Structure 1
Amino acid sequence: MFIHKIDEEVSLRLFNEDDAEEFYQLTISSKSYLKEWLGWLDYIESVEDSAENIKSRLKGLVENGGYPKSFAIIYRGEIAGTIGFNELNKTNKIGAIGYWLGEKFQGKGIMSKAFKTVIEYGFKELELNRIEVSVAVENKKSRALPERFGFTEEGKVRQAEWLYDHYVDHIIYGLLAEEWEMKTSK
């Protein structure tokens, strides 16, 4: 099983089918918190729904030539959230990162560590040229990540996402491999 230890408390690993119950419980326990910015939560109604999500993630591993697209974020042995590439365009070498963290795991620096690790993975292992992040304009916590890691705000997509009863605009951030290389070689 793929496990990447970031530090003593945080690691990334592949999901496995045995994670369905824990992942479901994390999703449900954080549902009201996450619902402000994630539009798919009403579709998670059972452990089986989480199991199907995990199966599709594992299928993505096969489709991507054995390279994982998404990871469970592990904090002190518990699944704290998820991060990975929602989309990979192999022709143009572009990856779009998506992420979320359970409510009780907020404010511990977990997502910053995971985010940096996935950027490095995208540029080094997947050989991407560009990584994108699309975030709701008002989602300040999620916007802080690409801003902290040197992404360029490239524009706004109006009414990019339907969230239950309203549309939200998104900011698109981009980071090129050469920019990351310059930033990390200092």
Structure 2
Amino acid sequence: MSMLPELKTRRLVLRPIAMSDAEAMVELAGKDFEVARWMTSFAWPYEDGAAESFLKTVVGKDPFKTEALYAITLGGVFIGVVAIEPPGDLDDLPDLPTLGYWIGRPFQGHGYASEAVEAALDWAFEAFSTNAIGARAFEENFRSRGLLRKMGFKPYSMTERFSRTLDRRISNVVVRLERPDFEARKDAA
């Protein structure tokens, strides 16, 4: 079974998610409406045991069948998650792996998300042998859309997803990143 490699950036270490991350996930996202409101998968209020149940579907499983889920850590402290899901998550781009991520509120605004996302994308292009990666963000999530734009993602389509946290359907922008656009941005940096 392919284990995920650890990914290191200037300030962060991305390591495969572990069952022991459940508590930090609940504290930073499950109990914080300002993080949870941007997720489609989170129930609100967060249910006891939900993090553990979710992690059981990923930890120790084949990341190319479930998802490649990384804990983003800063000096050993869990600060968020970045994930690459195998093709099939986005109806609009069914052939592409898709990116997802969140950062706990105390750690937002320092560029950690960009750093983690860049490392994950770099790894994913190779690991999935793909020339493009998809993602989506709530239409009004301007910070996330800005980060995706910075990485080289371009608008592809609009879709709706049901948000359990907000209890309504939300407009989402589906974006697509071509490998040459990602490489060009990296080379320019």
**TM-score, normalised with respect to structure 2:** 0.81
Distance 1:21 1:184, change over 3 A: closer
Mapping 1:54-93, distance limit 5 Å: 54-59=55-60, 61-62=61-62, 64=64, 69-89=68-88
Q: Aligned AA for 2:142?
A: K
Aligned to 1:104: 106
More helix by share: 1
In the aligned structure 2, how far is the partner of 1:148 from the partner of 1:182? Answer: 12
Q: Aligned AA for 2:53?
A: E
In the aligned structure 2, how far is the partner of 1:148 from the partner of 1:22? Answer: 28
State the structure with bigger RCO (CA 8 A, min sep 6), 1 or 2. 2
Higher mean Cα deviation, 148-157 or 108-117?
148-157
Is the Cα contact below 8 Å between 1:93 and 1:129 reproduced in 2? Answer: no
Q: Per the alignment, in what secondary structure is the counterpart of residue 57 of structure 1?
A: coil
In the aligned structure 2, how far is the partner of 1:76 from the partner of 1:22? Answer: 15
**Deviating 4+ runs (over 4 angstroms):** none
Distance 1:126 1:177, change over 3 A: same
In the aligned structure 2, how far is the partner of 1:98 from the partner of 1:68? Answer: 10
Aligned to 2:34: 33
Give the unaligned 5+ runs of structure 1.
none
Distance 1:162 1:20, change over 3 A: closer
Aligned to 1:161: 162
Aligned residues: 178
Q: Aligned AA for 1:33?
A: E
The alignment-based identity, stated in percent, is 21
Which residue of 110, 116, 119 corresponds with 1:117?
Answer: 119
**TM-score, normalised with respect to structure 1:** 0.82
Give the unaligned 5+ runs of structure 2.
89-93
Residue 124 of structure 1 deviates from its aligned partner by: 1.7
